[in-house]
Amino acid sequence: MSVITPEAMDNTWFSGVLGLPEGAVRAVRMETIGEGAGMMSRLQRAHLQLADGIDAPASLVIKSPALNETNRQVAVQFRTYERESRFFRELAASCLAHTPRIYHCDVDDAQNFAIVMEDLHGYRLGDQVAGADLADTDVCMEQLALLHASFWNRTETLDWIPGIGASFHADNMRLGVEHGWAQTLAVFGDVIPQPVIDMIEPFRAALPRLQNHLVSKPNTVLHGDFRLENLFFGGPGQHPLVILDWQGPLIGRGIDEVAFFLTQNAKTEVRREHERDIVSRYVRRLAELGVGYDADTAWSDYRIAVLYNWCYVVVVSGTLDTSNPHSRAWMTEMVRRNALAIDELGCYDLL
């Protein structure tokens, strides 16, 4: 059976998905949202005209394959549509971090997919261009600790989630660095310190070793793309943070995701002034959740992850479409922040 497309989601279909009687949804209006933010997928909001007396959401968010063929092929290569669908079906209920409510989730062997989820109206979407301040960073670190504690050293049966190392994901990341570096340098070279530019060959040679370290135990389930454009911050009476876009779950050391956020999403001054304390607090929060992780090991792993995540920078900025102004703006900040972190932490000695 084929996966339903957004164009086929009419009022009758939505009534069924929401468990409502026939005629409860009188009409549907679709609008495109998140242009330039959802790089790998098409995002739409469905506005539902409800019959009188019907208690149901007035709007929902629809996620389906990207219309941009380049981005869609990258998504298929990394099996992102399958991974997100399986996360919601198999793992979301066990995750301590907060995820959106899902009303419909379907994917086929060709990685056509459709996910219908709650519309987080009233929540504040993170802004990767502006960067996270310390308060938002603290909220994010709490949710990462909750996520990572949920699956800490319990990953053996999750063979559908690739590891940071020794997987098709790892292979594709190395290929992405090889093929993407020229575009990264051409488009974003003016925000990269020269020593980071000069390290590209030894960095490429070190990638398998870095990947194997970051997938070794203690490992857990990572979100895989924990950046501000995928995070919704709540106000009074709401969840502190709702994490969207579960297309890239990975098996790896949780500190990799801490480094990913601090060096690509947090304001540089926040990372510079607070990173050691943030890493220490992450370790303490894990301990409160019943997870033991040595503080010195965590800091050593953090520096390795800061260096390793340069491959993510190159794959994104070097292989995806940079023509959308918003996409280019957040990519520029991603490149600049991670490059500065590598340089300022002296990660070259890890090559």
Show the domains of the chain with their CATH numbers: 6-118 (3.30.200), 124-350 (3.90.1200.10)
Over residues 244-290, the pLDDT tens digits come to: 999 999 999 999 999 999 999 999 999 999 999 999 999 999 999 99
- 257, 148 Cβ separation under 8 angstroms: yes
Give CA 56 to chain center in angstroms.
29
Specify the pLDDT at position 39: 65
Query: Helices in 115-167 by DSSP H: which ranges?
Result: 134-150
Backbone angles phi, psi at 263, to 5 degrees: -100, -5
Does the structure show a pLDDT above 70 at 136?
yes
- With CA atoms as reference, report the closest residue to 256 among 291, 282, 284, 292: 282
Could you tell me which residues come within 8 angstroms of residue 151 by beta carbon, excluding any fewer than 6 positions away? 91, 94, 95, 158, 220, 221
Specify the pLDDT at position 33: 85
Classify residue 37 by its DSSP letter. Answer: T
Distance CA 339, CA 120 (A): 33
Distance CA 112, CA 4 (A): 9
Over residues 38-87, the pLDDT tens digits come to: 567 899 999 999 999 999 999 999 999 988 888 888 888 888 899 999 99
Query: Helices in 159-267 by DSSP H: which ranges?
Result: 168-188, 194-198, 200-215, 255-264
Specify the pLDDT at position 36: 52
Classify residue 163 by its DSSP letter. Answer: B
Tracing tokens 């940071």 back to the chain, one arrives at 164
C-alpha dihedral sign at 116, 121, 127, 131 = negative
Distance CA 194, CA 156 (A): 41
- With CA atoms as reference, report the closest residue to 215 among 255, 178, 186, 265: 255
Specify the pLDDT at position 1: 55
- With CA atoms as reference, report the closest residue to 65 among 19, 3, 21: 3
Distance CA 47, CA 125 (A): 19
SS3 content of the chain, % helix, strand, coil (to 5): 50, 15, 35
Distance CA 64, CA 42 (A): 5
Over residues 24-36, the pLDDT tens digits come to: 999 999 999 876 5
Q: Residue 323 — pLDDT band, cuts 50, 70, 90?
A: confident
Specify the pLDDT at position 324: 85
Q: Is 30 helix (H, G, I), strand (E, B) or coil?
A: strand
Parallel/antiparallel/unpaired status of strands 241-243 and 231-233? antiparallel
- 107, 64 Cβ separation under 8 angstroms: no
Please tell me the pTM assigned to this model: 0.92
- 167, 214 Cβ separation under 8 angstroms: no
Number of H helices, E strands in the chain: 12, 10
Does the structure show a pLDDT above 80 at 168?
yes
Over residues 94-113, the pLDDT tens digits come to: 999 999 999 999 999 888 89
Tracing tokens 């997870």 back to the chain, one arrives at 291
Tracing tokens 């960067």 back to the chain, one arrives at 131
For the beta sheet containing 241-243, the strands, ordered from the edge strand earlier in sequence to the opposite edge, are 124-125, 231-233, 241-243
% of residues, the chain, pLDDT over 70:
98
- 19, 5 Cβ separation under 8 angstroms: no
% of residues, the chain, pLDDT over 90:
87
Specify the pLDDT at position 60: 98
Tracing tokens 């409160």 back to the chain, one arrives at 288
How crowded is residue 321: how many other Cβ atoms within 10 Å of its Cβ?
Answer: 15
Q: Is 122 helix (H, G, I), strand (E, B) or coil?
A: coil
Parallel/antiparallel/unpaired status of strands 220-222 and 250-252? antiparallel
